[in-house]
Structure 1
Amino acid sequence: MIITLSIRLVSGMYAQTDWGCELEIEESSSLHDLHDAIQAAVGFDNDHMYSFFISSEESGAERLHFDGEEYSLDDSIGSLLPLPEGKKLFYWFDFGDDWIFQVSPSPQQPGEARPNRHYPFVVAESGSKPEQYKGYDPAAEPEW
């Protein structure tokens, strides 16, 4: 089944504008797959560590857990849903620049995959994508 998730940028080192997207993904996809999908959607280099956590606010936990039960990045997205009341799923990328995204299930009911559509699929996007490394010029890097 295909589920729709709302991804919204909450904070980050260079987060100066609002950005979000609606993402269709297979509910059997792992959290690692969701990480890759968010990276592709926001246009970041996939070059840092990341984590997911469930909390009532974006500065909550440091790893994915709730009610004493821990989850791994191999767990499916569907296994986490529905979230406990009052809790939200967050994606934390780059522990130095602290990019935080809130991941919310859409009220839209899961459906069958559409023919000729490759998943994950960005259905809609709002705002402006943030610059991952504001002011960084890779051409200025010294050659060793």
Structure 2
Amino acid sequence: MIETLKIKLLDGMHAHNEWECALEIPIDHSLDELHQAILCAVGFDNDHMYEFCIASSYYSRSAQRISCDDNKVTQETIETIFSKAKGKKLFYMFDYGDSWLFQINKSRKKCFSENPDTFYPRVVLESGVKPEQYPGWDE
């Protein structure tokens, strides 16, 4: 089954514009696979640590955090993480230096069967301007 997630950039050192996307992803994908999909959607390099957070606010003391070096990041799936996040929000923090903070929500769209001719995960809708991970840096 495929879930449609809304990924919204909330904050980051170089976040000067609003950006969000709708991402279709299999519900059995791990949090690590979701991390990879978000980086691909926003166009970032995978060169920093990250974590997922379940809480009413990312900065809440009672937040449940799953960091990139925790085994749960490969064991928790899209399906299981949202069952744990009922009544809370799911956040994704990438690069603790630049603090790219995203909020992840399930869309109102119901899960649907995977189309065998489609490669998932995939961005199906995008609005705003993608942030630059390293503005002013020449490759």
Fold match by TM threshold 0.5: yes
1:15 aligns with 2:15: yes
Q: In the TM superposition, what is the alpha-carbon distance from 1:9 to its structure 2 partner? A: 0.1
Which structure is larger by alpha-carbon Rg, 1 or 2?
1
Q: Mark the runs of 5 or more structure 2 residues left unpaired by the alignment.
A: none
TM-score, normalised to structure 1, is 0.86
Residues 14 and 131, structure 2, Cα contact 8 Å, conserved in 1: yes
Deviation digits for residues 83-140 of structure 1 (CA, Å, limit 9, x no counterpart): 221x1000000011100000001111111011311000101000000010121223xx
Q: Secondary structure at the match of 2:28?
A: coil
1:97 aligns with 2:91: no
Number of residues of Structure 1 aligned to a counterpart in Structure 2: 133
Q: In the TM superposition, what is the alpha-carbon distance from 1:80 to its structure 2 partner? A: 1.6
Instruction: Give structure 1 regions of 4+ aligned residues with deviation exceeding 3 angstroms.
Output: none
1:36 aligns with 2:28: no
Partner residue, 1:84: 86
Residues 10 and 103, structure 2, Cα contact 8 Å, conserved in 1: yes
Partner residue, 1:57: 57
Partner residue, 2:110: 109
Q: Mark the runs of 5 or more structure 1 residues left unpaired by the alignment.
A: 139-144
1:131 aligns with 2:132: yes
Alpha-carbon distance in structure 2 between the residues aligned to 1:7 and 1:41 = 9
Q: Secondary structure at the match of 1:124?
A: strand
1:45 aligns with 2:45: yes
Q: Secondary structure at the match of 1:78?
A: helix
Q: Secondary structure at the match of 2:72?
A: coil
CA spacing shift, 1:137–1:62, aligned 2, 3 Å: farther
TM-score, normalised to structure 2, is 0.89
Alpha-carbon distance in structure 2 between the residues aligned to 1:20 and 1:71 = 28
Alpha-carbon distance in structure 1 between the residues aligned to 2:130 and 2:35 = 16
Taking only aligned residues, the RMSD between alpha carbons, in angstroms, comes to: 1.8
